[in-house]
Structures are given as C-alpha cells and as structure tokens.
Amino acid sequence: MQPDLELVHIRKGESFAAWKHGYPFRTVRWHYHPEYEIHLVVDTSGKFYIGDFIGDFGPGQLIMTGPNLPQNWISDIEHDET
C-alpha cells in the first residue's frame, strides 16, 4: 500500500502550522509529507507506524517525525466512542 501525500498548508510569512484534532480525523491514514511533525498526545493511546517502526503512544508523549516518513496513528478508541 502506497502512502498518500498530505499537503500541509503554511501561511506566507509563518514558519510552521499548528492544529488540534481528535480521532477519527481526515488525516488519520497512511501518509507522508515533506515537513517535520511534532505530535503531543493528550487523551488517547494506541499504536503509531512511522517508516518501518511500530510503537505505542499514550497521554503525555511528545513524538517528532521526520520529513517524507510514511506514518499512521491508530487510536485504541473505537470510532463510535468519539
């Protein structure tokens, strides 16, 4: 399965973009982008898939991903629990 290219829009004159989202969310899929990404996990836990690494995430974790690394984040929360 090939990852989707995610387009990250950064406004002119700004160095980065920030947003908060829950689960499920439209960008929660196997994807990549040329930007670095920092994830602060607040309320959920689950597994992340970054490149060829599989790990667990949970509340309080801060995780940085590099550019062009395919990634996906799967929460333990069922879709009907949100």
Look at residue 27 and tell me if it is in a domain. Answer: no
In a domain, 53, yes or no: yes
On whether the CB atoms of residues 76 and 45 are closer than 8 A, the answer is yes
Tens-place pLDDT, residues 2-35: 999 998 888 999 988 888 877 666 557 899 999 9
User: How many whole angstroms separate alpha carbon 26 and alpha carbon 38?
Assistant: 18
Tell me the pLDDT tens digit for each residue of 44-72: 899 999 999 999 999 999 999 999 999 99
Residue 51 near residue 24, CB atoms below 8 Å:
no
Asked if residue 41 belongs to a domain, the reply is yes
Is 68 a domain residue? yes
Residue 22 lies in a domain: no
Alpha-carbon distances of 38 from 44, 63, 67, 80, rounded to whole Å? 16, 6, 11, 27
State pTM to two decimals.
0.78
Which residues 6+ apart lie within 8 Å of 64 measured at CB?
36, 37, 38, 39
The pLDDT score that the predictor gives to residue 76 is: 87
Give how many domains the chain has, as a whole number: 1
